[in-house]
């Protein structure tokens, strides 16, 4: 059976022209029918061993196609493609072939599917975003579907990601995806790893590299150390790390390449945080996103179990019962009240300098110990650990041993003045894009809080942002860290801490137990703040090291 002839080309579907899409779909339909025919004919003839081998192979291939079709039928922004894919699946089913069905409950395990925008019911602006995203990647991933709660941010996010992965840049395309894999694997984020393994192969990457970092070129292996430190203890990055990468004989990185790599690493570290923080489900067409089994057999999603999450039923119980409505109502009221107080008595009560300084230290120290009590050991869901070295290296060791995080003063090195200039110099245009993204994330507000309208949330947003930076030892001279304690309660801190530092340990319980009265869109908003603040913190440390190397 000639592979080339049966190779399915999906790219025609990304076209904005409906006739092109139609022909592409028709081709796909015919290929699938051919494959099906072939499989049936093989089944009827008596089996030989060699045949059986190729048989399983080709049925695997067919299943992949069907899974992809399933994804299209649910997630393609173009209505015609959705309908036609569904039609093809139906007709295949009629031929007696088992077709897949989606597993899980929509794009996120934490957010009920009905809360999330359905593909097909988006407004024009969102549709344009979806179409752009689909055209660029050939899919509409779950991250996009969750982020679309905040279309303004999503636009900037997609633009940046598209530029980083597909536009002009010093690194070759497959390197970019591989770096994405490395970064995501650091947090055992199998979702992102799977996604980028596909992309990596699609742009012509060598499948051998995927067997582990030691199979990748030395140059990428060298990056492993930076990846590790950046992900878990960015404050330890020194100019020696940078020098080691830039001066490695024939494996050395150029400054521009390094900045590109650093931006990619930080982007994917924080995206991993988002993935776990919002409980993003596996893509429909990836492993764990669909099943060929009939519905009654299983209620479990592999990833749920391995991530320490619970079954669907349990989760639903969790989210609805234990908290009474009035409790959580008071939570919001109390928070509002505190904000009001802080706003008013700011000028009256002057804390002394010493106290201000110690408040930061206290907050920083405490942030080390903020951890959820249920700290079961997590085994990586998939064999993602092979993409990085030294799996034991993590944030946890350090906090348990009470190591000291040195203080980084934003007034001496900040993104707007220094980081931006450096990035834009070495990797033009990206500084601008990231700067925009930070701005949008930091300033995004709808002036609502749970059921209240017209609230100035800037104080709360600043507290969250600065709390995250505080965990990384980044200090704002002009901020009173006492505010953090007033505004962020313990369960919220646990959530923030976990998402930012050890995202793989986020559970549905954590997600549900903070800000119980708040809407899901607001929780996603919090996640956006978290990931951008984290990205900026990592970038600041990495870029400062590069600057120090350069001077």
Rounded to the nearest 10 degrees, the angle between the axes of helix 79-94 and helix 18-44 is 10
Which residues, other chains included, contact 517 with Cβ-Cβ below 8 Å and sequence gap of 6+?
A: 328, 329, 331, 332, 450, 451
Using rule CB under 8 A, residue 549 touches another protein: no
Using rule CB under 8 A, residue 357 touches another protein: yes
Are the beta carbons of 142 and 108 closer than 8 angstroms? yes
Q: How far apart are CA 13 and CA 139, in angstroms?
A: 10
Least separation in angstroms between CB 153 and another protein: 17
Using rule CB under 8 A, residue 458 touches another protein: no
In three-state secondary structure terms, 384 is helix
**Six-digit token string for 370:** 């903020």
Tell me 376's DSSP state.
-
Choose one: 2-10, 27-35, 52-60, 128-136; the region binding another protein (CB under 8 A): 128-136
In the chain the first and final C-alpha atoms are separated, in Å, by 61
Tell me 210's DSSP state.
G
**R_g of the chain, CA atoms, integer Å:** 25
Choose one: 92-100, 260-268, 291-299, 420-428; the region binding another protein (CB under 8 A): 420-428
Least separation in angstroms between CB 155 and another protein: 10
Choose one: 32-40, 278-286, 287-295, 415-423; the region binding another protein (CB under 8 A): 415-423
Using rule CB under 8 A, residue 353 touches another protein: yes
Are the beta carbons of 437 and 160 closer than 8 angstroms? yes
Cβ-based nearer residue to another protein, 424 or 521: 424
Size of the site for another protein (CB under 8 A): 30
Cβ-based nearer residue to another protein, 502 or 536: 536
Which residues, other chains included, contact 366 with Cβ-Cβ below 8 Å and sequence gap of 6+?
A: none
Using rule CB under 8 A, residue 346 touches another protein: yes
Cβ-based nearer residue to another protein, 3 or 354: 354
Give pairs for 206-212: CB < 8 Å, separation 24+.
206/174, 209/178, 210/181, 210/387, 211/386, 212/386, 212/387
Using rule CB under 8 A, residue 416 touches another protein: yes
Least separation in angstroms between CB 528 and another protein: 19
Choose one: 240-248, 275-283, 409-417, 508-516; the region binding another protein (CB under 8 A): 409-417
Are the beta carbons of 131 and 77 closer than 8 angstroms? yes
Cβ-based nearer residue to another protein, 200 or 420: 420
Catalytic residue among 189, 278, 286, 470: 189
Using rule CB under 8 A, residue 131 touches another protein: yes
Rounded to the nearest 10 degrees, the angle between the axes of helix 255-277 and helix 173-186 is 50
Using rule CB under 8 A, residue 350 touches another protein: yes
76 classed as catalytic? no
Which residue from 324, 411, 428, 446 is in contact with another protein, where contact means CB under 8 A? 411
- The residues in 426-445 that bind another protein, with binding defined as CB under 8 A, are 435
Q: How far apart are CA 355 and CA 218, in angstroms?
A: 49
Cβ-based nearer residue to another protein, 240 or 417: 417
Q: How far apart are CA 83 and CA 89, in angstroms?
A: 10
Cβ-based nearer residue to another protein, 380 or 419: 419
Are the beta carbons of 187 and 171 closer than 8 angstroms? no
Using rule CB under 8 A, residue 409 touches another protein: yes
Using rule CB under 8 A, residue 163 touches another protein: no
Are the beta carbons of 226 and 241 closer than 8 angstroms? yes
The residue among 130, 179, 208, 112 whose CA lies nearest residue 512 is 112
Consecutive H or E run containing 5: helix 3-6
- The residues in 509-548 that bind another protein, with binding defined as CB under 8 A, are 547
- The residues in 468-487 that bind another protein, with binding defined as CB under 8 A, are 476-478
Burial class (CB in 10 A: 0-12, 13-18, 19+), 416: exposed
Cβ-based nearer residue to another protein, 347 or 376: 347
Using rule CB under 8 A, residue 421 touches another protein: yes
Cβ-based nearer residue to another protein, 40 or 409: 409
Give the Cβ contact number of residue 344 at 10 Å.
9
Contact residues toward another protein (CB under 8 A) are 16-17, 124-125, 128, 131-132, 346, 350, 353-354, 356-357, 409, 411-412, 416-418, 420-422, 425, 435, 476-478, 547, 550-551
Task: List, by residue number, the catalytic residues.
Answer: 189
């Amino acid at each position: 059976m000639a592979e080339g002839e049966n190779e399915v080309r999906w790219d025609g579907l990304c076209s904005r022209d409906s006739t092109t899409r139609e022909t592409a779909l028709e081709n796909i339909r015919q290929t699938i029918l051919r494959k099906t025919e072939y499989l049936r004919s093989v089944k009827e003839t008596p089996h030989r061993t060699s045949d059986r081998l190729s048989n399983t192979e080709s049925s695997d291939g067919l299943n992949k196609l069907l899974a992809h079709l399933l994804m299209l039928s649910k997630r393609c922004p173009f209505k015609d493609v959705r309908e036609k894919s569904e039609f093809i699946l139906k007709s295949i089913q009629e031929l007696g072939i088992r077709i897949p069905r989606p597993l899980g409950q929509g794009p996120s395990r934490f957010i009920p599917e009905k809360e999330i925008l359905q593909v097909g019911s988006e407004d024009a602006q969102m549709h344009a975003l979806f179409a752009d995203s689909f055209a660029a990647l050939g899919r509409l991933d779950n991250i996009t579907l969750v982020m679309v709660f905040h279309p303004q941010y999503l636009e900037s996010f997609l633009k940046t990601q598209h530029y980083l992965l597909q536009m002009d840049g010093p690194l070759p395309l497959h390197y970019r995806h591989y770096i994405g894999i490395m970064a995501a694997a650091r947090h055992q984020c199998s979702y992102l790893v799977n996604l980028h393994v596909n992309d990596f192969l699609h742009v012509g990457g060598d499948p051998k590299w995927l067997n582990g970092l030691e199979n990748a070129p030395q140059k990428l292996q060298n990056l492993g150390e930076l990846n590790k430190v950046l992900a878990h203890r960015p404050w330890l990055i020194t100019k020696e790390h940078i020098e080691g990468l830039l001066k490695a004989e024939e494996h050395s990185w150029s400054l521009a390449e390094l900045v590109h790599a650093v931006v990619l690493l930080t982007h994917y570290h924080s995206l991993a945080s988002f993935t776990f923080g919002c409980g993003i489900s596996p893509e429909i067409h990836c492993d764990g996103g669909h099943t060929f089994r009939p519905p009654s057999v299983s209620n479990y999603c592999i990833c749920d179990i391995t991530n320490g999450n619970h079954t669907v039923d349990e989760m639903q119980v969790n989210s609805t019962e234990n908290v009474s409505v009035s409790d959580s109502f008071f939570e919001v009221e109390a928070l509002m009240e505190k904000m009001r107080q802080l706003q008013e008595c700011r000028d009256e009560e002057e804390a002394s300098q010493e106290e201000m300084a110690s408040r930061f230290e206290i907050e920083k120290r405490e942030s080390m110990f903020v951890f959820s009590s249920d700290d079961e050991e997590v085994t990586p869901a998939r064999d993602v650990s092979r993409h990085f070295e030294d799996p034991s290296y993590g944030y946890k060791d350090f906090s348990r041993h009470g190591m000291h995080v040195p203080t980084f003063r934003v007034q001496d090195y900040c993104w707007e003045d220094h980081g931006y200039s450096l990035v834009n110099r070495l990797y033009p245009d990206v500084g601008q894009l990231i700067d925009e993204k930070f701005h949008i994330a930091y300033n995004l507000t709808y002036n609502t809080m749970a059921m209240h309208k017209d609230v100035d949330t800037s104080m709360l947003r600043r507290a969250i942002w600065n709390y995250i930076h505080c965990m990384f030892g980044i200090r704002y001279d002009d901020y009173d860290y006492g505010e953090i304690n007033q505004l962020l309660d313990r369960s919220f801190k646990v959530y923030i801490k976990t998402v930012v530092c050890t995202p793989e340990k986020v559970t549905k319980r954590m997600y549900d137990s903070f800000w119980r009265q708040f809407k899901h869109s607001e929780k996603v908003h919090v996640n956006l703040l978290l990931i951008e603040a984290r990205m900026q913190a990592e970038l600041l440390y990495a870029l400062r090291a590069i600057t120090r190397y350069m001077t």
